[in-house]
Structure 1
Amino acid sequence: MAEAASRARTTTLAADPLNGTVRRTVLPGGLRVITEAVPAMRSVSIGFWVGIGSRDESPSLSGASHFLEHLLFKGTKRRSALDISSEIEAVGGETNAFTAKEYTCYYARVLDADLPLAIDVLCDVISSSVLDEADVETERGVILEEIAMHDDEPGDEVHDAFTKALFGEHALGRLISGTTETIAAMTRKQIAGFYHKRYTAPEIVIAASGSLDHAAVVKLVRAALKDTHLLGGDAQPVPERPQGKLVKTRSGQLSVIDKDTEQAHLVLGCTSMNRFDERRFALGVLNNVLGGGMSSRLFQQVREQRGLAYSVYSYTTQYADAGLFAVYAGCTPGKADEVLRIVQDELAEVAANGITAAELARGKGMLKGGFVLGLEDTGSRMSRLGKGELLYGELLSVDELLQRVDAVTLDEVCAIATELLSRPMSLAAIGPFVGHDFSGVVRSS
């Protein structure tokens, strides 16, 4: 029984047409190692993907994942904060981390010869952070400054305001960074408890891409983690976050933040599909047609033909059990009503009459090009591995992705446009809008 528990399980997932061979090993205890060997590269990107993000926090611990992301680089039993950064930088590498709503990622990019160092440093950071009380206080101040800086960037803040309007008190509606109140009140004991409870082997995927050998990577990981809680036992990997019941969202919401800004920042949008919905490829095509580039309808109507905004685009965000579609525009405050009217008219036109065959072809071409061009560096390829394993429980090859896009039909895109763009829209606006009436923009049904 003990012998079986110590045995790793390795499978070959794909031989990618872009010269990448993907292999996956599940180590004893449930930690997964997935690599893509790309012999033509001279670098390697490696990421430790933890399936825990801001949506997994209680209201009082809002911001704990992001706080922890900062703290893990502050020191381990073997390394100080300076050691962690200087060891990677001494070989010309880079290391960083980011927190999202459903996961956190710690990553490094180094020359292939320095991969053993990167693995050792990141394994040490993930498994053995000391979370010193003094470091908690230092980083508390840093994060409070980060929140203040974010509040001074209305172009970023408006997206958070929109998400909050759409999801309300649900965890998806909360800020990844937390608030000044939750960060100020959070204790070292609470953060440590979150760390030890959540950062377990079954929740972690180690993804690497570049000039590497899979067996060597697995051996290095096992050596680095041999005396830690992340290796050993008979636990199995946590499956991808279940789709479950769709998050209850609110329709026709209005969030106006009055600020004396030179430019108004507007986000208009609605709920959309989750990331497991097979129609997500058709949605990607529709998004490109509406606001995905300079040839898109919204860019042409708002900027090129009327010169009302410098920046205007649409975007989609998908979670396991929810999604959103939104349009952003930044314009002079006095032009906000006109910009919103044009955006609404264009969305209504596409909802009623769909898109053309030429737009379908262009939207599909943009989607396919984005997939392939995004794989020209090891960091993007590593992210594809980590997200595929952690979020979807599968890794589609490039050929499979392109085939899914090619299979999208005009009728499918038009059907999604009718369904999605006919929904009640919510609006977030930041600017000098005291007493401004936006009631004609939003509706609840």
Structure 2
Amino acid sequence: MRDVSELILGPAGSPGTEITVETGAGAVVRRSVLPGGIRVLTEAMPGQRSAAIGAWVAVGSRDETDGHHGSTHFLEHLLFKGTPSRDAMEIASAFDAVGGEANAATGKEHTCYYARVLDADLPMATDVILDMVTSATLDADDFDSEREVILEELAMNEDDPVDVAHERFSALVFGDHPLGRPIGGTPESIRAVPRDAVHEHYRRTYTPSELVVTAAGGVDHDTLCEAVARAVAAGGWSLNPAAAPAPRRSPTTNGLDLLPVQGSAATVRRSTEQANIILGGLGPVAGDDRRFVLSVLNAVLGGSMSSRLFQEIREKRGLAYSVYSFASGYAETGTFGLYAGCAPGKVAQVVELLDAEWARLATTVMDDDELARGIGQMSGGLVLGLEDSGSRMSRLGRAEITMGEFVGLDETLARIRSVTAEQIRDLAAELYAAARHLVVVGPFEEDVAATAFGALPTAA
């Protein structure tokens, strides 16, 4: 057993590959590659009476081909509708009967089906989740009824102006790149996609080599590996003893030439009481070494009540209730942006303030107290966020699928504490110099976004 704080997952490995790492406080991370190329990662947490498990497929909305748009999110719904051995009620009842919870999430680059239960109920959760993943029936009647459910979900999202703003922001930043498509599809694509296309997408992408199973809490690694192998074999998946895991997504062959090279603005009309504003652009890739700098940058600029955006826009001027900055990273690119909700008549003023605070961070080195506050916020938030098994389970999945490395808590804290004010200024300047995009959602007849955007210095 190695006592190290950083585990470079590197090449996915061949069946039989085994890695064990102590992560502190008695916790142990183990990683195994099973026949078929299935990867299993666990973090055993002493004293935990709960366990969280996730079945990850390294396939997201960006991986959909023409005629299949919306299929990934469609599958997230359909897998809960039943298998040859369980109907939808039996799947739901299995977790309700033990006080557990199960759900799923679709992203642009992966899909995860997860559950949190008592440690004694982990075998049940493993069996049910993997039964869903390997053996979904995708019944025609279920398909038709769930289509209507998804259309209602999309309608609900369209009624949320914040969701609308974020979706339109992604579309502006990524343009024709697959990352610019809505994760859930559009009403048009969901109405158009046939069951055969979703079934084809399922059979093509849900394969052993793409499957990653992660668990944390009261979990025994060897027992879980045995349970995973049994469940997958029962689902009829072919487990080639020599098959290796699918390679991680390449950061260099994903159509970066499709990304917009100039800034843009869009006004989306909605009958709302507020205007919802997002100003931003491209950001670092998920695995960028500067992601720890970005996390502190975010904390200082818009991540807390003491952040610059909160203090300047809400506390000093009373122009917004909600104001923050955000970032998302993907294999070969990312996004960075600032959000505020304000009165429709204050859009120009708020956009100007968002831009000014971003520019100030990009041109001036912050003082030691502000830096220490940002580092302290990130450090404390990280530790508190990893108190539950679900967070640790998710961290394992992201490490395996996206990052290619697992960084232990002590090493992560060390990297955060090593961030300097100069690094934050330089990254903020790089982000500010890139093409920026502005989205405004609200009750407007005129193109307020274009007007506000045109008044910004070097916005285009």
Aligned partners of 2:352 and 2:404: how far apart in 1?
42
CA apart distance, 1:231: 3.0
Looking at structure 1, the residues matched to 98 and 363 of structure 2 have their Cα atoms a distance apart, in angstroms, of 57
Give the drift of 1:70.
Answer: 0.4
Hey, what does 1:3 align to over in structure 2? none
Q: Separation in 2 of the partners of 1:424 and 1:282?
A: 21
Please state whether the residue corresponding to 1:9 is helix, strand or coil.
coil
Tell me, in whole angstroms, the C-alpha distance in 1 between the residues paired with 2:420 and 2:375: 10
Instruction: String of CA shifts for 1:379-417, please: whole Å, max 9, x gaps.
Output: 001001111111112211111111111222222111112
Question: C-alpha displacement at 1:117, in angstroms?
Answer: 0.6
Aligned counterpart for 2:410 among listed residues 374, 399, 407:
399
Alignment partner, residue 24 of structure 1: 31
Larger displacement relative to structure 2 (39-48 or 430-439): 430-439
The one of 98, 107, 113 equivalent to 1:106 is 113
Summarize deviations over 1:318-348 as a string: whole Å, max 9, x none.
1011111100000110111111111111112
Q: In the alignment, which of 362, 378, 385 is matched to residue 351 of structure 1?
A: 362
Counterpart of 2:200? 193
> TM-score, normalising length from structure 1?
0.95
What is the TM-score with the length of structure 2 in the denominator?
0.92
* 1:14–1:22 Cα contact (<8 Å) kept: yes
1-structure distance, mates of 2:419, 2:360: 21
Which ranges of structure 2 fall in alignment gaps of 5 or more residues? 1-13
Stretch moving more, 139-148 or 369-378: 369-378
Does residue 233 of structure 2 align to residue 226 of structure 1? yes
Q: Residue 440 of structure 1: CA displacement? A: 4.3
Q: Does the aligned pair in 1 maintain the 2:15–2:36 contact within 8 Å?
A: no
Q: How far apart are the structure 1 equivalents of 2:176 and 2:106?
A: 20
- Structure 1: which amino acid aligns with 2:264? Q
Q: CA deviation at 1:157?
A: 1.1
| Closer, same or farther: CA 8–426 of 1 in aligned 2, 3 Å | closer
2:451 is matched with 439
The corresponding residue for 2:156 is 149
Q: Which runs of 5+ in 1 are unaligned?
A: 1-6
2:16 aligned with 1:9: yes
Q: For 1:74 and 1:58, how far apart are their aligned partners in 2?
A: 24
5 Å-filtered alignment, 1:384-423, equals 384-423=395-434
1:66: which partner in 2? 73
Name the aligned partner's letter for residue 229 of structure 1: W
Deviations 1:36-84 (A, max 9, x none): 1112100100000110000001243221100001001101010001111
- Which residue type is aligned with residue 125 of structure 2? A
Structure 2 distance, partners of 1:407, 1:255, is 39
Q: Residue 6 of structure 2 corresponds to which residue in structure 1?
A: none
CA 1:236–1:400 in structure 2 vs 1: closer, same or farther (change >3 Å)?
A: same
The answer as to whether partners of 1:385 and 1:395 remain within 8 angstroms in 2 is yes
CA distance in 2, matches of 1:167, 1:342: 25
Distance 1:109 1:120 in 2: 13
Residue type of the alignment partner of 1:118: A
Alignment of 1:28-427 (within 5 A): 28-227=35-234, 228-229=236-237, 231-244=239-252, 247-248=256-257, 249-250=259-260, 251-427=262-438
The AA in structure 2 aligned to 1:242 is: S
How many angstroms apart in 2 are the aligned matches of 1:41 and 1:103? 28
